[in-house]
Structure 1
Amino acid sequence: MPPLVAPLPWSQPLPEASPPAEFALYHLPTGTYTTRAAFAFKGGSFGDKREFASSAVLVQHPKGDLLIDAGFGADVATHIAMLPRFVRAPHRAGPTVSSQLDAIGYDRRRLLGVLPTHSHWDHVSGLDGLRGTPLWMNARERDYAARDADGKVYRSVSKGHEIHEYRFDDRPYLGFASSYDVHGDGSVVVALAGGHTTGSVIVFVTLPTGKRYAFIGDLTWQIDGIRRRVERPWVLSKLADSDPELLRQGLLRMVSLDELMQIVPAHDLGSYQGIPLLSAQAAGRPG
C-alpha cells in the first residue's frame, strides 16, 4: 500500500508556552504486551514482533500534577480476561503506577488527576490502584466510555473515581480545532483529536528548555505510522477506530509536526526515549 500523501511541514510559529522552572516530566512504564507489526500498521511484517508499551507519564507542575494515562493495574490479568478473545495478547506486567509513586514517597495530594488519552483498557487499567484520584474526562470520551463495548474495563475501574469533566475552548492548536490549556501557561495543552474514539485527545507538553512533546495516544500504535505515513490495516481500523477519516486527518497533522517535537504514540516504547524514569529526586519537587 502506498503511504499517505505527505502534508506540508508546519510553517507557522509554534504556540507560546511559559512553563515554570519546576515543571518536569517522567515516564512510568508498567509493562508490555506482544503483537506483530503486520497488525499495527500497513506494510508491517508478520515476522516483526513488537512489544507494545503500557505506560503512564507524570507531568509535574507547581499548580498540581497530572498523570497522562494509567498503564497496567494490579488486576491487569482480570482486565485482559474481560476482552474478546481475539484481542487478547501475551503480556508482561511491571510495577504499577501506584507502586512507583509509593516507592518514592510521592504525596498523592499533589495529583490533580489522571487524564487518559482515551478510555480503552490498556490506558486505564491502572486506575484500580489510584482510588481517590480524580479522573479527567471530556464529555465526548465520557459518553463513549459509558456506552461502547470497548469501555467495559473503564466502567469497572472508574467506579468510585470523581470525574472532572474538562471542556475545550474553540481555540485551534497546531491544526486541531479545539483545545484546553490546563494551567493557562501553554505547558500542557489538550487537543481534541477524535477518530480512534470519539473523545480521544493529544496532550502537548512543553518543557522549560523549550523541548516539546506530543502524547498522541492511539492515533497510531507505533511511530512507523508517522514516519512511514501509514494507517492501521483496514480490518484493524474497522475494529479499533470510531472515525477512520478523522483519524487520518489527525495522523497527517502530526506528520507535519514531526520535525518540531518528540511524538510519542502510547504503545511505542522507543518513543519514550529521553523521558526520565520516576525517581526519589522527583518526590522533592514543590507541588
Structure 2
Amino acid sequence: MPSRPASPWTAPMPPARPPGDMGLWQLPTGTYSTRAALAVTGGSPFEQRAFAATAVLVRHPLGDLLVDAGFGAAVDEHVAMLARMERPPYHRAGTARAQLEAAGYDFRRLLGVVVTHVHWDHVSGLDSLDAPVWMNSAEAGYGAEDKHGAVYRAVSETTATRSYEMADGPYLGFPASWDVHGDGSVVIAHAGGHTPGSVVVFVALPSGERYGFIGDLTWQLDGITRGAERPWFMRRVADVDPELVRTGLERSIALRDVVHIVPAHDVSAYDPIPRLEQVDPSGTVDA
C-alpha cells in the first residue's frame, strides 16, 4: 500500500483551451497474460489478468500524436528477445498502423509517438510506424543502455527521435512538465521511478473531460481504486526506483476524481475511449 493516504486533488485545474475538433481514440493492438498475484499486491495466484497493449491517438489541429505504440508487426521477434522468464503468453490484434490505415488515416497528420517509457510492450509497434518517437533525455539514456531496452534499440534503428525536455514547471502534482501545443490540451509530465524518464501524458478534451495516461506507475486499476502497489518482488524487478513509483502512484490516486486515470495495461481503463473506425476525406476521425 502507498506509505501515505493520497489526499484528493482540490486545487483549481490547470487552464486548458482544447480546440473543438480535438479528439481521442484507442487502438488496442493485443493483450498478454499474467497472474494477478504478480500484477498487484493482493491479487490471486489463480486469476489470470489480460494486460492491454494499446496505443492512443490524440487528434489536434496542430498535429496528431500517438501515446505508446502497442504491439508491432514483429512482436513475435520482440517477445523472443526478452529473458525467458519474462516472455508472456500473448494475443495479437491489428497493429496501430494497420488500424489507422483501415480507417483511411492521413499519416501526414502524425507528429510522432510519445512513449510513456521504452519497455517492449510500449514500443514494439514503432516497427510499423513511420513516425518519430518523442522522448526525453533520461529515457533515451535508459533505452540505449539498459537490458530492458533491447526491443527499443531494435525498433529505433530506423526511427527518428525527437527530444523534448520538461521546462514548464509542476503539473497536477508532478514536478515538471511540457505543454506540447501551448494550449493545455496535451501535457507531458515527468513521473520517473519505473524507468528514469517515464512520463504521464495528460489530455484535456473540448468536453471538459481529462485523461491521464500514467504508463506503468501501476499496471492495473487496483492500484488506483485500492492503492495497491506491485508485489514486493515485482517492484524490485520492474522499477528502477520503487519509492518514486509509490510517489507517482499517490499523485495519480489524488487525481482520480478529476481525471480519468488510465494505467497502460488495464484493458477496462480504456473503456471510456472510443475505438477508431473511419476517417472522412476532411480528416475527421469517427468512432
Q: TM-score, normalised by structure 2?
A: 0.97
Q: Secondary structure at the match of 1:217?
A: coil
Match of 1:160 in 2: 158
Match of 1:51 in 2: 50
Kept in 2, the 8 Å contact 1:3–1:228? The answer is: no
Instruction: Write the letter of the residue equivalent to 1:185.
Output: D
Alpha-carbon distance in structure 1 between the residues aligned to 2:59 and 2:141? 28
Match of 1:197 in 2: 195
Kept in 1, the 8 Å contact 2:126–2:156? The answer is: yes
Instruction: Write the letter of the residue equivalent to 2:172.
Output: L
Kept in 2, the 8 Å contact 1:104–1:280? The answer is: yes
Alpha-carbon distance in structure 1 between the residues aligned to 2:186 and 2:90? 31
Instruction: Write the letter of the residue equivalent to 1:58.
Output: L
1:158-237 to 2 correspondence within 5 Å? Answer: 158-237=156-235
CA 282–268 in structure 1, closer or farther in 2 if over 3 Å, else same: farther
1:1-287 to 2 correspondence within 5 Å? Answer: 4-131=3-130, 133-281=131-279, 284-285=282-283
**Structure 1 residue 170: Cα displacement:** 4.7
Instruction: Write the letter of the residue equivalent to 1:209.
Output: S
Instruction: Write the letter of the residue equivalent to 1:196.
Output: H
Alpha-carbon distance in structure 2 between the residues aligned to 1:228 and 1:284? 44
**Structure 1 residue 285: Cα displacement:** 3.0
Kept in 2, the 8 Å contact 1:106–1:283? The answer is: no
Q: Secondary structure at the match of 1:141?
A: helix
Alpha-carbon distance in structure 1 between the residues aligned to 2:118 and 2:91? 21
Alpha-carbon distance in structure 2 between the residues aligned to 1:198 and 1:24? 30
**Structure 1 residue 282: Cα displacement:** 6.5
Q: Secondary structure at the match of 1:220?
A: coil
Q: Secondary structure at the match of 1:253?
A: helix
Matched positions, count: 285
- Give aligned-pair identity as a percent: 56
Instruction: Write the letter of the residue equivalent to 1:93.
Output: R
Instruction: Write the letter of the residue equivalent to 2:93.
Output: G
**Structure 1 residue 4: Cα displacement:** 4.2
Kept in 1, the 8 Å contact 2:168–2:179? The answer is: no
Kept in 2, the 8 Å contact 1:20–1:208? The answer is: yes
CA 157–35 in structure 1, closer or farther in 2 if over 3 Å, else same: same
The unaligned stretches of length 5 or more in structure 2 are none
The unaligned stretches of length 5 or more in structure 1 are none
Q: Secondary structure at the match of 2:257?
A: coil
**Structure 1 residue 104: Cα displacement:** 1.5
**Structure 1 residue 193: Cα displacement:** 0.2
Q: What's the Cα RMSD here? A: 1.3
**Structure 1 residue 5: Cα displacement:** 3.2
Kept in 2, the 8 Å contact 1:4–1:230? The answer is: no
Alpha-carbon distance in structure 2 between the residues aligned to 1:22 and 1:81? 41
Instruction: Write the letter of the residue equivalent to 2:113.
Output: V
Instruction: Write the letter of the residue equivalent to 2:197.
Output: G
Alpha-carbon distance in structure 2 between the residues aligned to 1:286 and 1:136? 24
Alpha-carbon distance in structure 2 between the residues aligned to 1:167 and 1:67? 18
